[in-house]
Structure 1
Amino acid sequence: METVSQYLVTLLVDKFDVDPDAVKPGSTLVELELDSLAVVELLVTVQERWGVELDDADAGDDLSIDQLARLVADQLPRGGGPVDAAADTGTAR
């Protein structure tokens, strides 16, 4: 089963063109050079994929990948996965 952390790494690399070597659990969104529009797009994509609610207040500049993964995972039922397991990472351009 895909984990939230794995999904975030794939999403950041594929959709937001972040250098894979830069994506580490402690990397913040600002360190990954995501602007405010990209952060909003990231949150919307994650919410749609996992069926969770994320608040803009949750996504400050200092939010790390690990913290975002925990925000999502904490809202999932035990053993929960993506809303649509067949959905891709939203990489269509």
Structure 2
Amino acid sequence: MLLDQLKEILVTSFQADPDLVAPEATLTELELDSLDLVELSLVIEKQFEARVSDDELAELQRLDAIASLIGDRTARAA
């Protein structure tokens, strides 16, 4: 499931508190700054083969919305 994979990335690569990483959590609540968003966009591209810009991440904020966008982008690429 995309949300589970996204949670794993946030916990392992960005040291996000696993108790705070939930579908309705925002990137701001997880204390990710603009540089983290750039890095996260690169990790998403590599991990999921889906292009998601740091601007899109900043706009979407919620993890469930980000997972949905990743799902849409990977489905179109298939």
TM-score grouping bracket, smaller chain normalisation: 0.7 to 0.9
CA deviation vs aligned residue, 1:33-85 (integer Å, no higher than 9, x gap)? 0011111111110111111111233112651111110010011238x6xxxxx
Aligned length: 77
Of 52, 55, 75, the match for 1:54:
52
The structure showing larger relative contact order (alpha-carbon pairs under 8 Å, at least 6 residues apart) is 1
Unaligned runs of 5+ in 2: none
Task: Find runs of 4+ consecutive structure 1 residues off by over 3 angstroms.
Answer: none
**Contact 1:27/1:65 (CA < 8 Å) preserved in 2?**
yes
Structure with larger Rg: 1
Which structure has the highest helix share of the two?
A: 2
Of 37, 40, 52, the match for 2:38:
40
TM-score in terms of structure 1 length: 0.74
Within-5 A mapping of 1:1-93:
3-60=1-58, 63-77=61-75
TM-score in terms of structure 2 length: 0.87
Q: Distance in 2 between matches of 1:73 and 1:35?
A: 24
Aligned residues with identical type, % of pairs: 35
Alpha-carbon RMSD across the aligned residues, in angstroms, is 1.7
